[in-house]
Amino acid sequence: MRPVYVLNGPNLSRLGTREPDVYGAEDFSDLVALCRETGRELGLSVDVRQTDDEAEMVAWLHEAADGRVPVVLNPAAFTHYSYALRDAIAQRTAPLVEVHITNPATREEFRHTSVVAAVATGTIAGFGLRSYVLALHAIAGSTQ
């Protein structure tokens, strides 16, 4: 099975309790189960990770680039300001799909800018946890 990293940034471990009116009632364990099940259906070995630490996220992106591992990435708050993350993504050697549970373009103005989008293969946003399912399908269908 083809390996894929599903990397999640700050506060995503708080799904289910963090602003459920915005992010829904499903928790992080639901996200992990959904990604792993979708991966199995698509012939992907999904490794789901979460960190609140920018340096750890950068290290995971380097690991993915070195191993030519595709990535589904929800950079969370890092989306809007982390040039370190952007530079790590620019070194990618396999597809990387940026995902968001909500649609940042419909939210507060500071969320409208993604510094990582320009170096991602594509972006999927606004479909709740289904954004991850769509991204995994995109990875499974990629030829890179």
As annotated, the active-site residues are: 23, 100
With the CA atoms of 126, 130, 132 and 134 taken in that order, what torsion angle do they form, in degrees rounded to the nearest 10?
A: -90
Cα 18 → chain centroid: 18
| Strands of the sheet with 122-125, listed across from one edge | 44-50, 2-8, 71-74, 96-100, 122-125
For residue 111, give the amino acid letter.
Answer: R
